[in-house]
Structure 1
Amino acid sequence: MTRVLVIEDDPIIGEMLTLYLTEEHFHVQRVETAHEGKSALATFSPDILLLDLMLPDSEGTDLCDLFRKLTAIPIIVISMKSAVTDRILAISSGADDYLCKPFSMQELKARMNAVLRRSTQQIVMSGASSYEVQTKIEQASSGISLDLERRTIILNNEHIETTFSEYEIMKLFFQNPGRVFTREELINTVRGIDSFINDRAIDVHVTNLRRKIEKNPKEPQYIKTVWGVGYKFMK
């Protein structure tokens, strides 16, 4: 059973979320503060986090950054703030999706299933052993690898942490070296066709990846911009 941690201080919304998700066969734990949320990450071991951005002891997109540093599980923000800038800031700070209150419970479930599905996908590699498929994809000529178990990039034998979205983009690049991906294709890979994200958010994710893997992010060696189209990954 999928374990959902809900960090929401509004009693009405919190109760609605708990009741609906429980009826949909999720195992739900709800807390009301960031402090309680941090404790629940360790004791409850959730598979996905639903995070309100206005809590009694903390608020704003710093919450996304805080919880992203604590866990690699998918994070969906649920917030009253509907401005595009707020959404982009949350995604750039580590959120994997963003829902504005009020929202449809059915849409929430669909988005949860989408990010969970992508977080558990395994890449099938022809000729690779099951251990190799589960743990590592390597590009020998570039010296960069992906650790599938830890969902990290390996560069110069060091594990580099990424957000959920950054990792999914990098995984797609690794599967298709040299192929040019449009921003729309990257959007669909990261969020799904019905979820919110835009071209600017994709550019932010690519910029962050370059900062993590490139010697000179302003003159990238691996993730190339194809002007007017999108991006490609070079071995």
Structure 2
Amino acid sequence: MTPRLLVVEDDDHIRTALRWALEDEGYDVDEAVDGEDACRQVSDSTPDMMVVDLMLGAVDGFAVIREVRLGHDLPIIVVSAKADTHDIVAALEAGADDYVTKPFEVKELTARLRALRRRAGSSAHPTSRGAPREVVLDEQPPAPLVLREESGTVHRGDEQLHLTLTEFRLLCELAASPGRVLSRQDLLQRVWEHGFFGDERLVDVHIRRLRTKVELDPGTPRIIVTVRGLGYRLDPR
């Protein structure tokens, strides 16, 4: 099935060039000219993936991503001329999965899109590479925290936690090696699958977002632990 991709870009020339390039790569491409148009299209018919510019006018890219994340976990890549660390981190905190700064080579964007598609496919069809199918991550009150890789879900008691694809893949990779430190580069290779392009900020920001969902006290994490200078370790409780 041809993946349907929504390109959100207010510059007509850039949007058209992206559409042509992505159609050549086999995507069915829809276009949104501003943030309001993007939110409306996602509400009417959710695409499989999104490419979002940040500078869109009244409803900017940050707002679009936050709105989409209220009800959807589709992969989102930001494409923007904003290269400042604060902007990159803010976009990732809003819920983007990846970030490409302008100007960029189309092959870089398509490589990242392919990696996201592979991750989505592997999450829908888990493998037996050694990652546990069901893991109790935390038995502490008020309710156990359970990762079920086969169904692609995480529950705290009866409540299913809403994790994005990237957050879920991160948790699975950490849970596959409990008690072992995984470096940021390890996680980039395993989760983002494009270490050459990878930015370690991707890992740090998504770990912070993941902690807000799985830790009882995100400010003092006890399940996903930072090992200073080395990386992250999952300590089931």
Q: TM-score range by the shorter chain?
A: 0.7 to 0.9
| Closer, same or farther: CA 172–96 of 1 in aligned 2, 3 Å | same
| One-letter amino acid of the counterpart of residue 123, structure 1 | P
Task: Give the match for residue 68 of structure 2.
Answer: 67
Task: Give the match for residue 130 of structure 1.
Answer: none
| One-letter amino acid of the counterpart of residue 194, structure 1 | F
| Closer, same or farther: CA 212–21 of 1 in aligned 2, 3 Å | same
| Closer, same or farther: CA 117–69 of 1 in aligned 2, 3 Å | same
The separation in 1 between residues aligned to 2:40 and 2:147, in whole angstroms, is: 29
CA contact (8 A) 1:98 1:196 kept: no
Give the alignment partner of residue 193 of structure 1, picking from 180, 192, 195: 195
Q: CA deviation at 1:62?
A: 3.1
Task: Give the match for residue 229 of structure 2.
Answer: 228
Q: CA deviation at 1:6?
A: 0.8
Counting aligned pairs with the same residue, the percent is 32
Gaps of 5+ in 1: 128-132
Task: Give the match for residue 141 of structure 2.
Answer: none
Moved more, 171-180 or 26-35: 171-180
Task: Give the match for residue 138 of structure 1.
Answer: 134
The separation in 2 between residues aligned to 1:105 and 1:35, in whole angstroms, is: 26
CA contact (8 A) 2:39 2:64 kept: no
SS in 2 for 1:224: strand
What is the CA RMSD across the aligned residues, in angstroms? 2.5
Task: Give the match for residue 126 of structure 2.
Answer: 123
SS in 1 for 2:66: helix
Q: CA deviation at 1:102?
A: 1.9
The separation in 2 between residues aligned to 1:197 and 1:65, in whole angstroms, is: 22
SS in 2 for 1:25: coil
| One-letter amino acid of the counterpart of residue 197, structure 2 | S
Superposition TM-score, scaled by structure 2 size: 0.84
Q: CA deviation at 1:182?
A: 1.0
CA contact (8 A) 2:137 2:147 kept: no
Superposition TM-score, scaled by structure 1 size: 0.85
CA contact (8 A) 2:35 2:61 kept: no
Residue-pair matches, total: 227
| Closer, same or farther: CA 85–139 of 1 in aligned 2, 3 Å | same
CA contact (8 A) 2:126 2:150 kept: no
